[in-house]
Structure 1
Amino acid sequence: MRVVTISAAYGTAGSQIGPAVAERLGVPFVDRAIPNAVAEELGCTLEEALAHDDRAERGLGRLLSGAMRLPTVTFGGVDMYVPGVMPLAPEEFVRRTERMLRDTARNQGGVFLGRAGALVLADHPGALHVRLDAPVKRRIRQTATLGGLSEREARRIIEENDGARTAYVRHFYKADPTDPSLYHLVLDSTAIPVPTCVELIVTAAEAVD
């Protein structure tokens, strides 16, 4: 069973490339299913779970910076209070996310987008770890064009998402998600067409022992 992790900077078409790679390899594409499953297991809503997700625009990045003030929000072992549901510690969300990643990889294989997959599944036999990245100017241009946004709005979205994703990996794994040594393959999907990126990833995944 093939396992591919994709770490994608915002604006690099990860949500297009991931499903296409999964279809080609005949394995599940695992993205929003992970936080949704964790939310069900913890007894909270998806929105509350996504407050701790690595790609939540106003989620973990703002929690870590202190810009979002919620009752008893701390990091370092103290539970976070979420009104109406059981206390939810960020560490608990991450621990259960890791377990689901490992279980899915072992039982079904899959293409995993985000969730620090390259770190969580670093020791999974035969896994291919991919990073999609590009200069921020090209990511802004691509986001603005595809989303029908102004470049100013595209820049804001990219900065907030980059901040949340980087904070997630640095806080919980003490690593830099842009570090190329974490990956087997690094692609600029704003310069290389999406179908070519898919082909390169599929070829590499099939070649990994």
Structure 2
Amino acid sequence: MVTISRQAGAGGDEIARLSAEELGWKLLDNDAAERLLAEKGFPRAEAETFEDKEPGFWHRFSFEKDRYLHFLKMVSYEFACQAGGVILGRGGQILFADVPGVIRVRVMAPLQDRVARVRDASGGDERRVRQDVQRSDNERAAFHRFLFHTNWDSPDLYDLIINTHDISLKTAADLIVKAVSAKEMTGKKREASRRLENLYLAEKAIVAILFEQKLPIRRLEIEWNDGAITLKGTARDRPSIERCQETAASVCSVKRVNNEIRFEPKYVELLGGIQHSTEERMTG
């Protein structure tokens, strides 16, 4: 698995395409991600609102943010389960941070290089192109702050940082392929496969519980441990807790479910799904 984060105009899109071709893997770019999201029931028009940028006013509310994030995780993990792939953007370096054997790549270049590359490709005015490049960088940084509460530029998020100032895009792709083929990475395939399947099934169950069945479970989490799953969160009625357990067990194909969801009847739903406890509203 490879995730690629890129500054605008640094050549990351082309590097992702070349890397996927050399490895014989599929590429999950923005168009492919939106298509998969639509197939799962998340409309393309809504997905475009979150496309590597901070969303508009209404989509900033907790329910819309959580809905998009869980659908994004589900399609990303499902894609990754298919024997390798290259994921471009969409916070892949964060979604796969705990998956062994994943190469998280950052593609960057000096601003002037990036402006020149975009200008040569589009033929636009340099001043306008510079503004567009900087705006794109700012939007991607805002996307990561909003969804993941992290600094997009932090080197701690990446295993390999490539500056395309003096390195060709083909050479950059070759570096990624070589990193993927390294012995310390190839030896983690079985562990990575198991981890990815668990992540995918957990997110699939969360989507089914919260957004398909619309069960009133707050802060729902599903954790795996030795073939069993643990459910955590709070609910306003006991039947919802039981249905949550049944759905999770069915989707994750497990017999052992540790249900730690707490019964807390005193909360209300606002704005179609943003939930606040009575105590939170009194103190907030």
TM over 0.5: yes
Distance 2:136 2:40 in 1: 26
Shift of 1:49: 1.6
Q: Does 1:61 align with 2:54?
A: yes
Query: Following TM superposition, where does structure 1 have runs of at least 4 consecutive aligned residues deviating by more than 4 angstroms?
Result: none
Shift of 1:90: 3.1
Relative to 1, partners in 2 of residues 1:48 and 1:190: Cα closer, same or farther, differing over 3 Å?
Answer: farther
Shift of 1:62: 6.1
The residue that corresponds to 2:168 in the other structure is 193
The residue that corresponds to 2:4 in the other structure is 6
Q: Does 1:96 align with 2:71?
A: yes
SS of 2:40's partner is helix
The residue that corresponds to 1:26 in the other structure is 24
Q: Does 1:176 align with 2:162?
A: no
The residue that corresponds to 1:77 in the other structure is 62
Q: Does 1:146 align with 2:117?
A: no
Distance 1:42 1:130 in 2: 30
Shift of 1:133: 0.8
> How does the TM-score come out when normalised to structure 1?
0.81
The residue that corresponds to 1:38 in the other structure is 37
Shift of 1:41: 2.5
Contact 2:49–2:55 (Cα < 8 Å) also in 1: no
Amino acid at match of 2:81: R
Shift of 1:189: 1.7
| Stretches of structure 1 lacking an aligned partner (at least 5 in a row) | 55-59, 67-72, 79-88
Shift of 1:43: 5.2
SS of 1:42's partner is coil
Relative to 1, partners in 2 of residues 1:74 and 1:61: Cα closer, same or farther, differing over 3 Å?
Answer: closer
Q: CA RMSD in A?
A: 1.7
Amino acid at match of 2:127: R
% same residue: 30
What number of residue pairs does the alignment pair up? 183
Distance 2:70 2:180 in 1: 27
SS of 2:106's partner is strand
Higher strand content, 1 or 2: 2
Relative to 1, partners in 2 of residues 1:204 and 1:127: Cα closer, same or farther, differing over 3 Å?
Answer: same
Deviations 1:10-55 (A, max 9, x none): 10111111011011111101112112221343352x233211111x
Q: Specify which structure has the bigger relative contact order, considering alpha-carbon pairs within 8 angstroms and separated by 6 or more residues.
A: 1
Shift of 1:156: 2.0
> How does the TM-score come out when normalised to structure 2?
0.61
Distance 2:15 2:103 in 1: 14
Distance 1:131 1:43 in 2: 28
SS of 1:61's partner is coil
The residue that corresponds to 1:132 in the other structure is 107
